[in-house]
Chains A and B, each alone.
Chain A
Amino acid sequence: MLKGVTRLVSRVHKLDPGHFLRLGTQAPQSLAAHLDNQVSFESPRAISCTSENDPAKHEEKHEGQHYNLPLQDMKTIFPHGLPPRYAMQMKTFNEACLMVRKPALELLHYLKNTNFAHPAVRYVLYGEKGTGKTLSLCHIIHFCAKQDWLILHIPDAHLWVKDCRDLLQSSYNKQRFDQPLEASVWLKNFKTTNERFLNQIKIQEKYVWNKRESIEKGSSLGEVVEQGITRVRNATDAVGIVLKELKRQSSLGIFHLLVAVDGVNALWGRTTLKREDKSPIAAEELALIHNLRKMVKNDWNGGAIVMTLSQTGSLFKPRKAYLPQELLGKEGFDALDPFIPILVGNYNPKEFESCIQYYLENSWLQHEKAHTEEGKKELLFLSNGNPGQLERLCAYL
């Protein structure tokens, strides 16, 4: 195996494209790790990477450079938040590097200067498909996690309005519907992220699950979450309680709350879910959506609300739609008004260069022409600077 690896290494250094592609999936990971060590000795990654790993200290001079997120943190902060292709890239390269870009820097600046006595400000990241909204959101979440905020991360609100197998009629409110599976999955991930807060926060009201079970005032939030995870039937109500309590208590100033919702336009759109008599369900009839809508209203203070609009995964919206009013609709815009819209655009030349360098350094681009000027120009033209498109193109090279 080792001989094979060394032979492959020497082959790769000669930039032989065909052989690399014929390898199985097992080899690249170890190969990448091996090459990583080699490459970091040979060429300093000053162009594409920065050593400043704390998001709080990121500034404009770091713009365009990648910074490393420790893999251990990734498991706790992002149990469910990363886009699938990025997760694959993370697994392949065995490291998580995120590019520092202007929209994220702008948001960081606002967040650093937040006044926690004022009502929570809403920020909406919007932009065309594949420009990096979700990853910018992940950057912000990393920053807030490092600053010890409580992260309320809903990775994709679209998942809650489509393809739900079991809808139960809510026990709390007869007109609404519960989604036990989605709620319990989310609760598990929420627990992983915010382990340390769960025991500190105490609920301030008594909640009765049913005739036999109830939860007393003063018990910790962790118990509510446990109840939701174990008793899947009550998971949606548990989520509702968690959201309500967090909203109430963040105003008290014990912790800072970051509400991060990806695909927030799902909250005011149509759903594909139907009742037994095939009549469609509106979004507000789902208990999860109803509670989440209350969460993104700015009648609480002590934190911030960061949201992204996403056409990918949205229902009944045309593919080219990316502007706030198109995706949110009238209802959504009125509900979110006033908010700060932040545009996330394609790569500018510096960022593009940095991205290509990063791929080259990780030996992701195996084509001979990949590091030439013409090759880069061709990639720029083909992808038009769109990060998602560039990533897909480079996957073939």
Chain B
Amino acid sequence: MAAASLPAWRRLQPGARTLRAFSTAASPTTLPGNPRPSTTERTSRFDRPPRRKALPPRTEKMAVDQDWPSVYPVAAPFKPSAVPLPVRMGYPVKMGVPMAKEGNLELLKIPNFLHLTPVAIKKHCEALKDFCTEWPAALDSDEKCEKHFPIEIDTADYVSAGPSIRNPKARVVTLRVKLSSLNLDDHAKKKLIKLVGERYCKTTDVLTIKTDRCPLKRQNYDYAMYLLTVLYHESWKTEDWEKNKTEADMEEYIWTNSSSEKNILETLLQIKAAEKNLEVTKEELLGTKEIEDYKKCVVSLKNEGDSENTLSQYKDSVKRLLNLT
């Protein structure tokens, strides 16, 4: 509505006072770029009923402490006349500013959550409280929850108005469990991680199993529990072919029987031979403090990668081993 934009124009102009006046007394002809003759002055050929003037936007009548959830009770498109915020959106022209909210298609296109303010959500929660039971008082910390209920199941229910109450997305079941709460030894843990592959997160130590291959939620839940059971039992078993695990399969670097150990032992034996100290045996050499230190440095270098810290530690340990100053 043109008249509705009049006050907006005035607000834009610096120093212009917002007028409540939408009466024709404030002649629109004085505004630049908006030359519209008022209907009362023009003599039209046929009597047109006078055009209804546009009402002021609802935002002007809004109090600051109004009940917002009643303005936007459900998900609704963005109504510039109902939202009292001076929002701007759009790419500005040169030496300009982003477009205002009136008639702004960009603000209409994007999803808005004006119906989900914290106040509204509190109201929803209050309404839902009647359908809920109380949280058990004994479970007052995260650790207790984890200790007593290590497995977490996530399901989603969908409600919508439509011809059918079914929603195919409702059958997805996600099972989350921390491996530290399962009884696994070193070999079982490594085997389990190899079996599940992508489903295990190393940083949070959480195994996530998402199932949706069965038509019903209950069936998917049973399947997820079955998978967990099978994984647990299988990882405890050791097959014959696991003996053939090569160095490339190892998850982390193990120093014993590695080429690094061989190299260092050879080097040290040669040094000892040069010093005519042939009584030293391999086991003795392995037990010395320098070798322990060297072993730690090499393992950290291989497992954590290069960094200034690890490299300088490695350098120091090699210097000590080879007796360089």
Contact = CB atoms under 8 A, between A and B. Distances in A.
A109 B319 CA distance: 13
Given A334-B259, A337-B264, A340-B324, A325 B301 contact: yes
Interface string B295-315: 000100110011110010011
A115 B314 CA distance: 21
Main secondary structure of the interface of A (DSSP, over half): mixed
B321 A338 contact: yes
B256 interface: no
A334 to B, nearest CB: 4
Contacts of B311: 323-324, 341, 343
B254 interface: no
Given A339-B318, A341-B315, A323 B260 contact: no
Interface stretch (A117-125, A131-139, A264-272): A117-125
A310 interface: no
Interface stretch (B70-78, B134-142, B265-273): B265-273
Contacts of A113: 324-325
17 contacts: A110-B325, A117-B274, A118-B274, A323-B305, A323-B307, A334-B258, A334-B259, A337-B259, A337-B298, A338-B263, A338-B321, A339-B318, A340-B315, A341-B311, A341-B314, A342-B315, A343-B308
A340 B298 contact: no
Given A323-B307, A337-B264, A339-B318, 13 more contacts: A110-B324, A113-B324, A119-B270, A298-B267, A299-B266, A323-B305, A324-B306, A325-B305, A334-B259, A338-B263, A340-B318, A341-B311, A341-B315
A338 B270 contact: no
B319 A119 contact: no
B325 A340 contact: no
A324 to B, nearest CB: 6
A193 interface: no
A334 B270 contact: no
A338 B275 contact: no
Nearest to A325: B306
Contacts of B321: 338
B264 A338 contact: yes
Interface of B is mostly: helix
A378 B307 CA distance: 30
A342 B316 CA distance: 11
A326 interface: yes
A340 B318 CA distance: 7
Contact of B319 (A326, A340, A343): A340
Contacts of B302: 325
Nearest to B297: A338
A324 B318 CA distance: 15
Contacts of B315: 340-342
A137 B263 CA distance: 25
A366 interface: no
B306 A326 contact: yes
A179 interface: no
Contacts of A121: 322, 324
B294 interface: yes
Contacts of B323: 115
Contacts of B305: 323, 325
Contact of A337 (B263, B270, B306, B308): B263
Nearest to A297: B263
Residue from the set B267, B294, B298, B325 with the largest chain A CB neighbour count within 10 Å: B267
Contacts of A314: none
Contacts of B318: 338-340
Interface size for chain A: under 10, 10 to 19, 20 to 34, or 35 or more residues?
20 to 34
Contacts of B306: 323-326
A20 B6 CA distance: 69
Nearest to B306: A323
A227 interface: no
A337 B264 CA distance: 8
Between B307, B324, B325, the greatest number of chain A beta carbons within 10 A of the residue's beta carbon is seen for B324
A301 B274 contact: yes
A119 B260 contact: no
Contacts of A299: 266, 270
Nearest to B260: A337
Nearest to B272: A118
B310 to A, nearest CB: 10
A168 B242 CA distance: 44
A337 B311 CA distance: 13
Interface in A130-155: none
Contacts of B259: 334, 337
A119 B267 contact: yes
A334 B324 contact: no
A340 B319 CA distance: 7
Contacts of B325: 109-110, 113
Interface in A312-354: 323-326, 334, 337-343
Interface string A29-61: 000000000000000000000000000000000
A115 B271 CA distance: 10
A338 B267 contact: yes
Contacts of A118: 270-271, 274, 322
Contacts of A115: 323
A298 B265 CA distance: 12
A276 B76 CA distance: 70
B260 A301 contact: no
Nearest to A300: B270
Interface string A78-122: 000000000000000000000000000000011001010111010
Nearest to B247: A330
Interface in B253-290: 258-260, 263-264, 266-267, 270-271, 274-275
B294 A338 contact: yes
Nearest to B259: A334
Nearest to A113: B325
Contacts of B270: 118-119, 299, 301
A113 B294 CA distance: 22
Nearest to B314: A341
A117 B323 CA distance: 13
Most chain B beta-carbon contacts within 10 A, residue among A115, A326, A342: A115
A121 B268 CA distance: 12
